[in-house]
Chain A
Amino acid sequence: MATVATVRYQRGRGSELALLGLSALITVTARGLVDYHASVLVISQMLWYTVVVVAVLLGIHLALRRWARDADPVIVPAVATLTGMGLAMIRRIDFAWADRGRPTNFGEIQSMWVLVGAGVCVTIIVVLRDYRVLRRFTYTAGVLGLVGLLLPLMPVIGREVNGARIWISLFGRSLQPGEFAKIAFVIFFAGYLQTNRDTLAVTGPKILGIRFPRARDMGPLLVVWVAAIAVQVFEQDLGTSLLLFGIFVGMLYVATRRTSWVVLGVGMFFVGAAFAGTMFPHVRVRYVAWLHALDPDVYSSGQSQQLVGGLFGMASGGLFGTGLGQGRPDLVPYAYSDFIVASLGEELGLTGLLALLMLFVIIVHRAMRTAIGVRDGFGKLMAAGLGFTIALQTFIVVGGVMRVIPLTGLATPFLAYGGSAMIANWIIVALLLRISDQARRPQEVTA
């Protein structure tokens, strides 16, 4: 007797739609509050904004239904909510600056970048039907990553902003190639480690109980790593340097399961950090500002004023915040970019800040679930690497603002002002969605 068994499984697209509705509501309400408190609330403009927000979210949703119907249903709503809150806060800072006679339009520019980012995300989902083709470009990605890091050092196009030479200028637009380089490196690490993980893990001389890989296996990795760190030191961008190093160690661990390597890597990092602290004045200043932020001498010398300003802002927000549009986040330099978390903490309070951090935890968690669910090693490494990239980048910048670690300049994913970071992070989202589509797709039953 034969029975036809129908296997029901949840794709979650319906849940995604509901969650997207929620994040659209949050996004629109946040902007409404900001406009209301700046006394520029215009209903017709709000309607337009609502239409655009709904159109974008619905567009992504429909694209997923059509081209990646098994993709994770939680990632996009979480990302959309963070992006919406970021847009509202950036717009709010614009109003604060306009109030002080120095009008800016970061909000509008950022809205444009969000549209571009979402567009790129959908394009990748449509074009890249199988992420495994990326493995073919392992070494290309490595080279691209290096080039991306090197570009700002080029004479004509390189730009130095606030002491960090991490920008290039193309067609009148400035671009931060480091944000894209991190994705290239994740692809490179994933491809390379998947090919060589066995040799890396098993062979090689054993010194002091730790098995070291053979030089010829380790070579390409070391080249990329040393080059990346060296370039970052020359560009004086500690945040990206720390990020790349962290991704490298994290993915190496996932590939080889060698805790000893993590210990070694972290140890190497501390040596490097101590070295930088003694060698480079601009690094030492950050250590001092971190450890002695509230010290009157350090404060009055200007080294920790931004950091302490952020703390003051967050403290004034307290448990429930001053309310969106009702605090003074604009008192802190870069309240719309590096310090946007302090701005959000001030106006949304600890409650709002924890909610935002939880969204990051959810995104990273879904990435890790994807890594566990997907069946091929390259996909596992890539999903874990991309998830860890978002986690580490958030930790580095938010931890810097909150004095958990020394302050380094990096863009808070999805929240902070900056076109390169916005597009790069939407690319990560697209890749994660594509891998999760594979991971959650029901296995075809083979007789």
Chain B
Amino acid sequence: MNEPVRKLSVVVLVMFLALMVAASWIQVIEAGSLNSDARNVRTLYREYGNFRGPFVVDGESVVFSKPVNDPFNFQRTYTDGKLYAAATGYYSIVFGKTALEQTENALLAGTSDALFWNRLRDLFGGREQQGASIELTLRAQLQEVAAKELGDKKGAVVALDPKTGAILAMVTSPTFDPAVLAGHSTQEVNDAYKELNTNPDGPLVNRAIAGDTYPPGSTFKLIVSAAALHAGYTPESTVYAPDSLPLPGSSHAIENYGGESCGKTEQITLEQALTVSCNTAFADLGMTLGWGAIEDKAKEFGWTDTFRVPLVVTPSRLPDDPDDAQVGMSSIGQFDVRATPMQMAMVTAAIANHGRLMTPYLVDTARASDLSIIEQSSPVEYGQPLTSSEASDLTQMMVSVVNDGTGRAARIPGVTVAGKTGTAETGTGSAPHTWFVGFAPAENPVVAVAVIVENGGSLGSEATGGKVAAPIAKAVMEKAIELSKAGK
């Protein structure tokens, strides 16, 4: 019976050989496609199950991964989700990642090449891979003030440090709480997302950088003024400011806000024109300077550029080859001129920083789990749209706007504030968008801010930038000065 036993042994060997081949097939040859299979929840768990680095604002973690007893091991937790949602975005097992959660993913997850040595150290130390923490440029108190002042009005606030380009505040309203999308119940997350996504007010949209761009209205007069100063005008140069300016080639005429006159005569200074936000004067000035001059100046400030902060900022738009009447309308920030609040904040910051425009940025520092610095942002110049003297002329004109003109609501006792209001028509029926851009203190600015409130907020058709947006900007600037004085 030995012969059949030997044959049976061979059969057994073949059986085990088959198992070994199958194991090799699964674990080596097919492993790649099995691991990348969308149904392989392990891949999801591996990514979502690691300790993910936190977002830090003013030394406090505002978004962090909390260990929990479920298959994902960690729950992304938001201490003040709504306040920072526009910057951080969400981190969802169902809908993926947005905003900084996405752009900084490699650092947060610890997979970035910059973390190679840390990973190696963790590997040999037997520690679990840990992501880097991301410190933001945002200031908690500025965010809070901006969000509080904006309230439930639709709009956005952007505050920049004019000297560096650091984004000190970025608030959009309405917004959302990322916590509802970061849950581990697929059903609940789906429901919450559906609700947010179908909300007509668009809470998922970041109006500060990536919403529908807005007509800048009278705030665009800063660009026209800059182009005029570049063309040799001074704040004292006289401009033509009739009560009504017929637009060439059309039956339409431009009037000033409320049909008022800009001055005692039809010839007023450029400074006076900006102070009272004279529509006819700037429409005429724009047509006199020609579209090319205005377009070039706007582009120097960043119009039509796409850039990252590192969130993608929607490019602000300019009209394509406008005729004279359209140049007139464009010069007062209407027609096809569009801007993001970020763009207007950049214009303001450049004026505040002696004409040097700094690139805005949101991430200050990335630190490994041992607190060593992995990446540190340094200020980068975007361009120099103004000379130093042009910038100081414009500053002087903007101070006049706040002291004597449409921006009086932004005055801060004991501080010289520079600013410009904007009230942009949005077409028939709906109330205008109200703007305020400004910086303070005018002599040594610590903050440049842009505020937009859509459709005049609660004031409706009576709204102007001076009434609605200026007080919000004022509160933000006041807080920024307070923080600066306290040395924080």
Contact = CB atoms under 8 A, between A and B. Distances in A.
A372 B31 CA distance: 41
B1 interface: yes
14 contacts: A250-B11, A254-B8, A311-B34, A312-B41, A316-B42, A317-B27, A318-B28, A319-B27, A361-B12, A365-B9, A368-B8, A391-B12, A399-B18, A402-B19
A402 B71 contact: no
Nearest to B31: A315
Interface in A335-394: 345, 349-350, 353-354, 357, 360-361, 364-365, 368, 371-372, 377, 380-381, 384, 387-388, 391-392, 394
The prevalent SS among residues of B at the interface is helix
Interface of B: 1-9, 11-13, 15-16, 18-20, 22-24, 26-28, 30-31, 34-35, 37, 39-43, 45-46, 49, 69-71
Interface string A390-429: 0110110011001110000000000000000000000000
Given A331-B41, A331-B71, A314 B5 contact: no
Given A311-B34, A357-B23, A361-B16, A377 B1 contact: yes
A328 interface: yes
B27 A345 contact: yes
A255 B23 contact: no
A142 interface: no
Interface in A39-84: none
B37 A404 contact: no
Nearest to B73: A99
Nearest to A96: B71
Given A312-B42, A331-B42, A391-B16, A371 B5 contact: yes
B391 to A, nearest CB: 59
Contacts of B37: 294, 312
Contacts of A349: 27
Nearest to B16: A361
A380 B1 contact: yes
A313 interface: yes
Contacts of A255: 1, 4
A257 interface: yes
Given A255-B1, A357-B16, 18 more contacts: A253-B4, A253-B8, A308-B39, A313-B42, A315-B34, A316-B43, A331-B41, A350-B24, A361-B13, A361-B16, A364-B9, A384-B8, A388-B12, A391-B15, A399-B22, A402-B22, A403-B22, A403-B26
A360 B20 CA distance: 12
A100 interface: yes
A254 B10 CA distance: 13
B481 to A, nearest CB: 50
A299 interface: yes
A210 to B, nearest CB: 17
Contacts of B43: 316
A313 B40 CA distance: 9
A101 interface: yes
B112 to A, nearest CB: 22
A319 B24 CA distance: 8
B31 A318 contact: yes
Interface string A84-105: 0000000000000001110000
B69 A395 contact: no
Contacts of B15: 391-392, 395, 399
Interface residues of A, number: 50
A345 B34 CA distance: 14
A395 B31 CA distance: 22
Interface of A: 99-101, 250, 253-255, 257, 294, 299, 308, 311-319, 328, 331, 345, 349-350, 353-354, 357, 360-361, 364-365, 368, 371-372, 377, 380-381, 384, 387-388, 391-392, 394-395, 398-399, 402-404
Nearest to B34: A315
B23 A314 contact: yes
B390 to A, nearest CB: 62
A371 B433 CA distance: 94
Main secondary structure of the interface of A (DSSP, over half): helix
A341 to B, nearest CB: 9
B110 to A, nearest CB: 16
A254 B4 contact: yes
B421 to A, nearest CB: 58
Most buried by A among B28, B31, B49: B31
Given A254-B4, A331-B41, A398-B19, A100 B34 contact: no
Contacts of A317: 27
Given A328-B45, A350-B24, A404-B19, A312 B40 contact: yes
Contact of B23 (A99, A345, A395): A345
A353 B45 contact: no
B28 A404 contact: no
B71 A100 contact: yes
Contacts of A388: 8, 12
A354 B20 CA distance: 6
Contacts of A99: 69
Given A254-B8, A312-B34, A395 B42 contact: no
B8 A250 contact: yes
A404 B20 contact: no
A315 B39 contact: no
Contact of A350 (B7, B12, B27, B46): B27
B127 to A, nearest CB: 12
Residue among B2, B11, B23 with the highest chain A CB neighbour number at 10 A: B23
A159 B394 CA distance: 90
A39 B43 CA distance: 24
Contacts of B39: 299, 308, 312
A101 B69 contact: yes
A368 B23 contact: no
A384 B23 contact: no
B37 to A, nearest CB: 7
A404 B19 CA distance: 7
